[in-house]
Structure 1
Amino acid sequence: MTRFPRPSRRAFLAGLSAAALAAPALAQSVGTGVDVAIVGAGAAGIAAARKLAAAGRSYVLLEAAARVGGRARTDAALGPAVDLGAVAFSRMDGTLADAAEEAGLPLVAVPASARLFVDGREAPEGDYDAFALALGRVRRDLLAAADAGKDGPAASLVTTRGPWTASVEAVLGPIGCGQALAAVSTLDLARRRPPPDDVTCTLGVGTMLERLAAWTNLRAEAPVTQITNAGRFYALSLRGERSVIRARTVILAVPAAVLASGAIRFNPVLPARLALALRGCPSGAIEQVAFLLPGNPLRLADNETVLAQLGSGPPALLRARIGGSDVHSLRFGAAAARAFSGKGEGGAGEAAAREVAQAFMRSAFSIGELGKAVVSNWSADPLIRGAMAVAAPGQGAQRSLFATPLGRIVFAGEYTTPTGWGTLTGAWNSGEIAAERAIRLTGGPS
């Protein structure tokens, strides 16, 4: 089986996709006043809660949805667990893997290679080299433009067209961050240098985060509607409740698109520079369609990843035989993802059948052969509003604003990290950093 050389694999994954903590404290009795209120129980919010619990600080973790995990969601409707959001993370860069292992959650390595298919067949060795060279050329030009202070659309740097140009553009843009390169800041994309996602949880990443949040002081289905600066404390209003939660410090761990939408009101309002920065980093669109494909008709290995050029259409990323099962998933980005969003499971399943048939030249594929399908639908979820936050052309420097607390409001989430944005590891690490800042703001060592 032909495989990527390791240097191109690292670049491929970068485009796609606290010391060890003690066991978190048991849930606290919150009442109406805490040191820290955390808004949002995705990876960043869970990491912040565990850090605060380990430091012995009073806190409450508020989640508007009925479940935790944010864009990490494990679905078992097909039988085996399949992740419809984050599917892997970095073992080396951060403490997420440490926390999972301490909780007894089973981790396995992600295969360190991927395959290229075009016109239904695996690409020959020379095409692997051509793909790696084309990807490396664009990355080099990105870095050069960023060093020169240029922050136009990343698409302007793709000046040489070749047989793998569309796939390279997809890996860096739609599949990698959910936006076409024409809508992506050169500076933002050049700064993004996440480590490879080299490990996952056999129970599912979404289930892993649920387990890590199990002993936090969590209040689910508790949507925050307003945050008021009352001087010595912040007052957080919850929908349907008269009383407020008082907190000396607030960690905002909700997606940037949710903040930009005005779903949470602020009194006083957010500064104009911050509001502009949020609007300058709109969400990309990435959706996943998971389906059953019994009998392994594609003859792919367990947990194999395939970048498939779908005829003249946009490339898609196929995860095959997840966990050794008959479950496969397709990942689409940008316009293709928006087309999937809202189709429902039946419509998305039929579309997945067409795409798989086109990618692997099996015109006999049908929704009946693929079986039941499940769809992520992140773009349609009002508590998520799309995929990762991506800086628009000319807005690449805006992301740094999120690293500075606003009074005693600290921002956390994948969008707050210039190098690891769009990754589960980046989100988790940002939560731990936010917790350390919150501890300092409330007084005392972290």
Structure 2
Amino acid sequence: MVDKDATAAVSRSEEGDFVKSTWEVTVTSPEGVRHFPVYRTILKVPPVVLRLVQGELHFESALEVLHRREPVASGVLAVGETLRCGDWELSLHDRSGKSRAVLECFTDPFYSRIWTLHEQVTRVGRPGKRENELEIDHPTMSREHAVLSWEERGPVLRSSGRTWVDGVAAAETVLADGALVQMGDLLFQFRLLSELVLARGGLCVTSLGSFQARVHGELVTEKAWRTQAVRWMLARLALEWGRPVAVERLLDEFWPEMPEDKSRNNFNYTISTLRQVLGGSEAILRATGSLQLSPSFLGSHDLVALQRTLRVEDWGAAVELYGEYLPGCYLDWAVAMRGSLEQQVLQGGLRLLERYEASECWPEVLELGGKLHAIDSTCQRTALGVLRAHLGRGNASEGVRFYERFREHLGVELAMEPSAELAALAEQARGG
């Protein structure tokens, strides 16, 4: 069951808004069985994207799936129905009256994993002799680590293992919505599902095309950064988006050739200034030997949105979202990420271009080709697709002009000639 008013409009954020829902998606694959609570208006379960609209669960798939015995790429999934693709299967269930909250993990190897809490009493621990409702196989969790029970005063967490709530050691505590719960070395965020829409975090970051940050809607000014190191430190922490980064790694990435005492002084100043920029010490969590942005502070990040489109192979959306990662930053980690993103988006875009060509969708080829050319102006495969599109539309003269411009540009940039296939197609255009 889903509150229709809460899902009347799909959020434009990459994750969607929190909603009141008793639905749960179960995915079965060779890797095992996983459960995903439908607690946002947008849920991405590769290769499927699910969206809640007016109380209905709409799906779009990057691959053809079987729904009601018919191969489709989109539709509406009802409770009890299943989508199938090879040995992968997704089904929708209604746990009416049971779903109460979720735990979302922000630590590897369970980063972004979500567990539904729907029992009156939920025992948490490692797999073992005692049957836990929530089993988490991690060496820092004990077999009977904690118990979450719903009482008159609210959700109460009792723990016999190493547990902290909002940074304070806790043997017994009432959990508030948004509480950060650390069990062993794993950090979780506790989210109540009793509210129709929960507030999103206060930090919004843009890393593609330019670097900007907004804190509770206010743009961070150039003066506020004070140094480039402060700016790029936020970018580096935002690259992990809620996951911890080792302090030693940050020292090596930012001040690799500096004596240790000086690099640590620079590091402490940078983090202190960054906390001021973000409005307080709560925005950055510091554990033994690591730093991370507080999960409760996270709002939106265009890089996260792009990475999700790449994971589900939504190449059209990836090309639309793409922009050069952190232009002007030449630290090794930024340069490596910049090159990786460019190649992933370009290769995915070329796959989409080939599909358009095979279907002779020439206007789409020209539009996509222009965007891919902006990413890599020397890509001969893109140029080949654009030239074919001009010929396919009966505009050989425009194709020849495009080819001559590309040939000149290729010579200037790479001192090379177009491929034999591209040159032969240009000759065909001249003859036409």
> What interval of TM-score do these two structures reach, taking the shorter chain for normalisation?
under 0.3
State the TM-score, normalizing by the size of structure 2.
0.20
State the TM-score, normalizing by the size of structure 1.
0.20
More strand, by proportion: 2
Greater RCO between the two (CA within 8 Å, min separation 6)? 1
